[in-house]
Structure 1
């Protein structure tokens, strides 16, 4: 039965899991934008730009996130951001600009994912449904949250986790739906049906870490007292125009 439940999820994951490499076709340095030519791409898919220095030497210049796609022209617009993943303040940084024909690498790390689930049974049913992804255990994230004193995970915590342990996708299980989210942009890539029975909830999410330490004050320092409402609102923060998400959230609120 579980194979049928997650057939759509597995199919969708296959579509987004492959790394995409394509050249930059235009650069707008003033607005920090580049464009690429591509047959199809989802808004919110992240990646980076590689600049070739010599035959066997290259450097990553910028992080990028897809912010627009014109299906008629097959032109995608990408927003450039500072590349933080391998930052080393003790070493000098280069002064190279992004150029036409530099290589954009998208969906890198999409084969490494983490699942935010309400309990152990849901966690294992989802993660055992496919072997197309390397699942990073949420214990890692819970440990990082404890170190930061955040028993309530913030948007920034997910991004830091993505950079620290190279997670490309985060899956959120909410109200019998599975949300596929780009870990860097926190943009929803897909929403799949996953009608599993949910008999219990472990806060802030399923992990084997018994308690997440809290800071004395500040955002994220309070204990999370609900599951679905909080993560719905967290996703809405980064996806305010996602009509499907808004509809699901409104239906959830009507049931409460």
Structure 2
């Protein structure tokens, strides 16, 4: 009986909770656009970064990848890791034995919630670096956008080093990886408000610049379902 219990325990996925664990592994092989890892990520859609060793103690993040199959195969997502006019663009190709960090920056989380009470409750339950939605609201205002989309969340995450988007939907919560654009985790939720602040909870009553904060109306839960 103890052996059965032990086997069941060992057969559990790498994360038993809502948040996937960060994975440290390396590239096993590269064949055209398919990249195989020595240790797969715990869930499909999870993104990571590839780190190349140039010798003499010099290493650099070269590309972003995302797992596409349960066998551990991944594909290239982006080579735009760091853009700066004063710095050279990294053009190093992925190669075997490059190091990989799956779930890079997953501890940095932006939470989109329907109200202040839900927001406060969630952040009190998890020890994460929470990126306040006020910052995202200001970003949308500057960009002249009215509501969250996968595209502006991806751009925001890259600019502000956000690893995950925690989204409260109607009766559920999901984790969106803004690099891959995939939902990587989901759980049910209860006792949520019937109507949420549109487009999401923030401390600003109104933001005057740009389109954001105008009289555009919408439904919080309907918006979250599109992400």
User: TM class by shorter-chain length?
Assistant: 0.7 to 0.9
Task: State the aligned residue count.
Answer: 211
Does 2:222 correspond to 1:226? no
Residues 52 and 60 in structure 2, CA contact (< 8 A), matched pair in contact too: yes
Query: TM-score, normalised on structure 1?
Result: 0.75
Q: Which runs of 5+ in 1 are unaligned?
A: 1-9, 71-75, 235-256
Matches of 2:111 and 2:200 in 1, distance apart? 9
Partner of residue 161 from structure 1, selected from 152, 156, 161:
156
Residues 112 and 136 in structure 1, CA contact (< 8 A), matched pair in contact too: yes
Shift of 1:211: 2.4
Residue 26 of structure 1 aligns with which residue?
29
Matches of 1:85 and 1:162 in 2, distance apart? 12
Residue 183 of structure 1 aligns with which residue?
178
Q: Secondary structure at the match of 2:216?
A: coil
Pick closer, same or farther for the CA change 1:113–1:129 going to 2, 3 Å. Answer: same
Deviations 1:15-67 (A, max 9, x none): x13x21211111123x3x21113265201101111110014111222110111
Shift of 1:100: 0.8
Query: TM-score, normalised on structure 2?
Result: 0.84
Q: Which moved more, 1:113-122 or 1:38-47?
A: 38-47
Superposition RMSD in Å: 2.2
Q: Secondary structure at the match of 1:196?
A: coil
Partner of residue 85 from structure 2, selected from 81, 86, 89:
89
Does 2:76 correspond to 1:80? yes
Residues 61 and 81 in structure 2, CA contact (< 8 A), matched pair in contact too: no
Matches of 1:200 and 1:126 in 2, distance apart? 18
1:109-188 superposed matches below 5 A: 109-131=105-127, 133-188=128-183
Shift of 1:179: 0.8
Does 2:204 correspond to 1:209? yes
Partner of residue 99 from structure 1, selected from 80, 95, 102:
95
Greater per-residue helix proportion = 1
